[in-house]
Amino acid sequence: MLQQVLQATASGVVTGCVYALIALSLVIVYKSTDVINFAGGEVVMIGGYLGILGLLYLGLPYAAIFLFSAALTFLLGALFDRVVLNKVLGRAVPGQSILVAMVIATVGLSYVMKGSVRLFPYTEEVRRLPPLFTGEPIFIGQVVLQLQDFAIVGIAVLVMLALWAFFSLTIMGKALRATSQNPRAAALVGIPVRRMRMTMWGLASAVSAVAGILLAPKLLMTPDMGVIVILAFAAAIIGGFNSLPGCIVGGILLGVIQNFAGLFFTSSAISVAPFLVIMLILTLRPQGLFGGRVVAKKV
C-alpha cells in the first residue's frame, strides 16, 4: 500500500507539472489581458505537432525542435493578438465589457486550429513524439519513473523560474506587468501597450509549445488533446490564477489528488476530482493558495 501511495504521488507530481506548464501560459494571458484563453490547449497541440514535424520530417535535432516550435507558435500567438484581438478591442465601448467577445474569439481560434490540423490525414491516428530522454526507467526504491518524467519536472520548474525572473527583474518584464495592471497608466509613461500585449500572447504561446513538446511523449497527440486545458485551468485556480509559482504548486496538487482519488475511490472518480477541487477552492479561498489578496478592480 505504501508503495502504491508513493508511486501515485510521484506520478502525480509529474503529471501535475504537465498541467502546470500549460497553466503557466493561461496565467500569462490572463494576467496581461484578463482574457480566458480557450484556445490554450490547442496551442499546446500545435506545438506538439510542430515538434513532430521538426523531428521526424525536417530531421532537426531534438533541442532545435523546441526553438522551431516555440518560434512558430510565438508568431502564431502574436499574430492572433495583433490581427484579431486588437480589432475586437478596438471596437470596445468604454463602460461595456468586451471580454466575452475576446473569449469567443479564442474559442473560434481553437476550432480553426483543430480544423487545420485535421486537414492532414497524418493526424487521424494517435501519434507520439519520441521522448527527449530515452532509456531504462529509474527506480527510486520501488517507485518507477521515466527519464522523460524528470525532464518534465525539471523543465517545468526552470520555465517557471525563468518567467518569474523575467517578470520581476527585467525592464521588459516589468513593463509587461505594468501594462496588465493598468494599461492607461502604462501608456502614459510611454509603454507601447499594444506591442506589449502582442508580446505576452507570443510568449504565452511559446511556453505552450514547449509544454507541447515535453508532454507529447507522455500524453499522445491527437487534434483533440486540447481538452486537457480544463485541467490546466484547475491547476491555475488551485494555485491562484494570478500567480506563476502557484501554477506549479496547483498543478502538482491536482495531479496527486487525481491519482489518490483513483487509488482510494474508483477510477472514474479521477475525472471528476479536478472539478470538485475547483469548486471547493473557489468557495473557501477564491484566490487560490498563492493568489494574494483579492484586489477589487476599479469600477
Partner 1 sequence: MLTKHIRHAFIGAAALAVLAGPARAADPGITDTEILIGLFAPMSGPLAAFGFDPLQAAKMWYEEANKKGGIHGRKIKVLIEDDKCNPVEVVSVVKKFITVDKTFIVHGGSCTAPAVAAQEFVTREKVPFVMLNAAGDGAVIPATRYVFGAFGGTQRTVGATIMEFAIKELKGKKIAFIAHDDDFGNSNSTTARAVAQKLGAEVVALERISPRITDVTAPMLKVRAANPDVIISTAYPAPAVLITQKYAEYGMTKTPIIVAVQGIPIPAVFAKNVGNDAALANLYYGSPLNDLTDGPKQQRWIQLYKQYYPDRTPGAFMTYGLPSAMAVTMALEKVGKDLTREKFVDALETLDFDSGVVAGPIAFAKDRRDAHRASVFIKFDGKTHKLMPGTYLWNGKDGM
Partner 2 sequence: MYGSPSWRRFAPLLILLALGAVLPQLVPQYFLYLGNVLMMYAVLAIGLDLLLGWAGQFAFAHIAFFGVGAYATVIFQTRLGIPFAAAMPLAALLASLIGMLIAIPATRLRAVYLALATFAFAEGAQWVFNAWDHVTGGADGLRIPTPNLFGYPLGTDPRAFPVMAVVLALVIVATLYLTTSKFGRSLCAIRDSEHAAAASGIDVRRTKVVVFAISAAYAGIAGGMFTMFQSFVNPETFGFAQIVLVLSMIVVGGLGTLPGTLIGVVLLGLMPDIMRTAMRSLLVYTELVYGGILILAMMYMPRGIWGTFVRRRAQP
Q: Rg of the chain over CA atoms, in angstroms?
A: 19
C-beta of 62: minimal distance to partner 2 in Å?
31
Residue 116 binds which entry of partner 2, partner 1, none, CB below 5-8 Å type-dependent: partner 2
DSSP code for 295: P
Is residue 178 part of the contact set for partner 2 (CB under 8 A)? no
Is residue 10 part of the contact set for partner 2 (CB under 8 A)? no
Contact 228, 41 (CB under 8 A): yes
123-126's contacts with Cβ under 8 Å and 24+ in sequence apart are: 123/49, 123/221, 123/222, 123/223, 126/220, 126/221, 126/222
C-beta of 270: minimal distance to partner 1 in Å?
6
C-beta of 260: minimal distance to partner 1 in Å?
8
Residue 11 binds which entry of partner 1, partner 2, none, CB below 5-8 Å type-dependent: partner 1
Farthest CA pair distance, the chain: 61
Contact 152, 14 (CB under 8 A): yes
CA neighbor of 217 nearest in space, from 157, 160, 159, 149:
149
**Which conformational region is residue 59 in: left (phi greater than 0), alpha (psi within -120 to 50 degrees), or beta?**
left
Contacts of residue 104, Cβ cutoff 8 Å, sequence gap at least 6: none
Look at the alpha carbons of 55, 37, 158, 72 in this order and tell me if their dihedral is positive or negative. Answer: positive
Residue 79 binds which entry of partner 2, partner 1, none, CB below 5-8 Å type-dependent: none
Is residue 158 part of the contact set for partner 2 (CB under 8 A)? no
Number of H helices, E strands in the chain: 12, 2
CA neighbor of 89 nearest in space, from 101, 77, 78:
101
**Among 102, 209, 225, 248, interactor with partner 2 by CB under 8 A:** 102
Q: Which three three-digit cell numbers place residue 212?
A: 507541447
Q: From 7-15, 43-51, 116-124, 143-151, give the range in contact with partner 2 by CB under 8 A.
A: 116-124
Residue with cell 523546441: 66
Interface contacts to partner 1, rule CB under 8 A: 4, 7-8, 11-12, 15, 18, 118, 121, 124-128, 130-131, 134, 137, 144, 146, 217, 219-220, 222-225, 227-228, 231, 255, 258-263, 266-268, 270-271
C-beta of 283: minimal distance to partner 2 in Å?
5
Q: Which is nearer to partner 2, 63 or 299 (CB)?
A: 299
Name the phi and psi angles at 144, rounded to 5: -110, 135
Residue 243 binds which entry of partner 1, partner 2, none, CB below 5-8 Å type-dependent: none
C-beta of 143: minimal distance to partner 2 in Å?
30
Look at the alpha carbons of 275, 278, 281, 282 in this order and tell me if their dihedral is positive or negative. Answer: negative
Is residue 140 part of the contact set for partner 2 (CB under 8 A)? no
Residues of span 222-251 touching partner 2 by CB under 8 A: 227, 230, 233-234, 237, 241
Residue 192 binds which entry of partner 1, partner 2, none, CB below 5-8 Å type-dependent: none
Q: Which is nearer to partner 2, 118 or 128 (CB)?
A: 118
**Residue ranges binding partner 2 (CB under 8 A):** 30, 34, 36, 38, 84, 87-88, 91-93, 95-102, 104-105, 107-116, 118-119, 227, 230, 233-234, 237, 241, 268, 271-272, 274-276, 278-279, 282-283, 286, 294, 296, 299
